[in-house]
């Protein structure tokens, strides 16, 4: 994806890459927080009951 943007517009590459890096960092923080909360619920057995 980054290669495509660099080909289209050389200036776009750095901005795009920076955006991807920032976004990736935020996403992984959000995901790890969600996993942490989920695991806490598993430990406390607070998971919602599954309807069949």
pLDDT at 44: 85
| Structure confidence at residue 36 (pLDDT) | 92
Give me the long-range contacts of 9-15 (CB less than 8 A, separation at least 24): none
Ranges of the chain whose pLDDT falls below 70: 1-13, 52
- The Cβ of residue 5 has, within 10 Å, a number of other Cβ atoms equal to 18
Query: Residue 18, SS3?
Result: helix
CA distance 46 to 31: 19
Give percent above pLDDT 90 in the chain.
Answer: 2
Cα separation, 9 vs 25, in Å, equals 24
> Of how many residues is the chain composed?
52
The rounded mean pLDDT for the chain is 75
């Amino acid at each position: 994806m980054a290669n495509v943007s660099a080909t289209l517009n050389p200036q776009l590459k750095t901005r795009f890459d920076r955006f991807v890096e920032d976004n990736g960092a935020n996403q992984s923080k959000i995901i790890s927080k969600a996993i942490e909360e989920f695991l806490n619920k598993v430990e406390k057995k607070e998971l919602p009951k599954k309807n069949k």
